Each structure stands twice: as structure tokens, then as C-alpha cells.
Amino acid sequence: MKRTHLKLSVMMFIEWFIWGAWFVPLWQYLNKLGFSPSEIAWSYSSTAIAAILSPVLVGVIADRYFAAQKVLAWLLLGGGVLMCFIAVQTQFSSFFPLLVVYAITYMPTVALTNSIAFANIGDPEKDFPRIRVLGTLGWIASGLFIGFVLPPMLGMGNISDTNLPLWLTAAASFALGLYSFWLPNTPAKGSGPVDIKALFGLNALAMLKDRSFAIFALCSFLFCMPLAFYYQFANGYLTQVGLNEATGLDDAGSGFGDFRAAGLAAAAQTFWHQEGTDARLRHCRHPLHLLYLRRH
């Protein structure tokens, strides 16, 4: 079991290293290419577009016909190839469509890595957080590597405004794609007719009938709006105010914020004495307390 946990932890580390490696420094690179602010914004929207489309395009295949680790492997390998093409594009008209297609291959892998982890651990509530935290470390590591480690190795002052982070993303995608073939087998579970509502997550809307959950969902929605602005434009702002190490500092800052959130479950259990995060959400009459704990 410990060997399985190690495999899953490595998987989670590289998975989030991939995303952080291109997403955070992208502003600097596109700005240097002369992309307009709206073109940069559209480029960052690629992951949101993919998150909407990928359940329909990929979810059915992963859930019903093939083992999850094999789907993960081929998506990452395909994404690596696409990123190689993206790295040599200099015009928005070709860069953006390719980035959207790449995002469609990547975004399902976030859910797939979670599914593979949950399916191969004995106690998800206890073991999954320990595995998932490696994803946060991977995100931080990508920024520190691009911001502080790789530039001196290459004799450069800054690589965030070059296409090197995109090539690094491609290399990491190939590495995890090949590694995925050695992950624990996670066979397909789906059967019967395709449930369109389930594909789009519409079944979850029934949970909004619970007043407490509805308030929590609304607050989460509003909270994530400024969070998206931070992830997309903090690097650009730090660069414009003169910080050469913006990528490393940006990733480190957002990552350490995630570590604060990691204590949420323990804090909530202390206050409400319920077993499991889901149980705490169901029995808490004031979900805003959760946001308060996250903030303070």
C-alpha cells in the first residue's frame, strides 16, 4: 500500500507541476509577443472553456470504456505533442485554438488523477489529503524552478517571458504520460445508457434545495471570481512593478495559501465534531464559518 501511495503522490506532483509551469508565466510570454490584453484574457480562458467541454468529450470514454490510467496516459501524451506546437506559435489566431485543444486534453486529467487516487487507497478521508498535497507542492515547485532554478542553469536572468516554460510543460506531460502506464489499474465502471445530466453535473443542482449548501455554493462562486483574476494576472502585475522573480514568488504565494486551506478539515472537525468533510457541510447551519476559517 505504501508503494501505491508513493506512485499516486508522484502522479499528483507532476500533474500540478504541468499546469503551474505554463499557466503562471504565460502572461509574461504573451505580453512580450505583443498580444493585446483581451487576447491574453482569452488565452487564460482556455481552461474554463475546456472544463465545460471536456466532460462531454472525454468523460464518457474514461468512465465507460477504458481504464482510467490508460486514458490519463494518452491524454497527457497528446497534450505534450500539442504543447510542442503551441510553443512555436507567435500569432493569437493560431495560438489560441491550439491552447483550447490542449486544455481539453489536460482538464480531464485533473479529475482522472483524483479518481485513480480514490480507487486505489484504503481510507480516502485519511489518505487522499496526504496524496493531494503533493499536487500543491508540484504547483509551487514549477514556479520556483522556472523563477529561481532554471534561469541560472541556463545563464539567463528570466525565462518566464520566453517559450521555455511551454517546452518544460511538454516535457513534464510526456514524463507523466509514460509514467501513467505504470499506475495501479483502475478499470472503467460505467455501464448502461449515457446520462447527459450527469455529464454536465446537472444532478448536483438538486443539492441547492438545501439552504445551507446553496449559501455555501454562492459564496464559493463569488470567492472564486477574484481568485481567478489573481491566478491569471498577478504575475503580470508583479512583473510590471519590477519584480524579476515574479513567477517564483507568485507560485509560492498561492501555494502557501493552499497550505492554509489544508487545515480546514481539522479546524472544522474541532468546531463541529463531525466525521468527514461532507458531513460537516451537511450539518453546519452557517457555512460562512468555513469561509471565515479559510480567510483567517
Mean pLDDT in residue range 165-192:
92
Percentage of the chain exceeding pLDDT 90: 53
62/28: higher pLDDT: 28
Per-residue pLDDT, 236? 86
- pLDDT above 80: residue 179: yes
Give 227-267 as a DSSP string: HHHHHHHHHHHHHHTT-TTHHHHHHHHHHHHHHHHHTHHHH
Per-residue pLDDT, 36? 97
- Tens-digit pLDDT profile for residues 252-288: 666 666 656 556 555 655 555 444 444 444 444 344 4
Per-residue pLDDT, 102? 98
Contact 141, 18 (CB under 8 A): no
Mean pLDDT in residue range 47-65:
79
| CB atoms near residue 32 (< 10 Å) | 12
Contact 259, 68 (CB under 8 A): no
Mean pLDDT in residue range 195-199:
66
Per-residue pLDDT, 119? 94
Q: What is the CA radius of gyration of the chain?
A: 20
Mean pLDDT in residue range 152-168:
95
Per-residue pLDDT, 238? 85
What angle is formed at CA 26 by the lines to CA 32 and CA 169, rounded to 5 degrees?
125
Mean pLDDT in residue range 10-33:
96
Distance CA 96, CA 144 (A): 26
Confidence of residue 225 (pLDDT cuts 50, 70, 90): confident
* pTM greater than 0.85: no
Q: Which residues contact 107 (CB under 8 A, 6 or more apart)?
A: 47, 50, 51, 54
The residue ranges of every structural domain in the chain are: 2-187
- Tens-digit pLDDT profile for residues 64-117: 788 999 999 999 999 999 999 999 999 999 999 999 999 999 999 999 999 999
Choose the CATH number for 2-187 among 2.60.40.10, 3.20.20.10, 3.30.565.10, 1.20.1250.20. 1.20.1250.20
Helical packing angle, 37-44 and 211-240, nearest 10°: 140
Distance CA 220, CA 227 (A): 10
Of the listed ranges 11-15, 72-76, 108-112, 209-213, the one predicted with least confidence: 209-213
Per-residue pLDDT, 267? 60
Per-residue pLDDT, 47? 95
Average pLDDT of every residue of the chain: 84
200/54: higher pLDDT: 54
Helical packing angle, 68-86 and 92-119, nearest 10°: 160
- pLDDT above 50: residue 58: yes
Closest Cα to residue 184, out of 118, 134, 110, 106? 118
Percentage of the chain exceeding pLDDT 70: 78
| CB atoms near residue 129 (< 10 Å) | 13
Mean pLDDT in residue range 30-53:
95
Contact 29, 90 (CB under 8 A): no
**CA 239 → CA 10, 99, 137, 251, distances in Å?**
31, 23, 23, 13
Distance CA 170, CA 176 (A): 10
Per-residue pLDDT, 294? 41
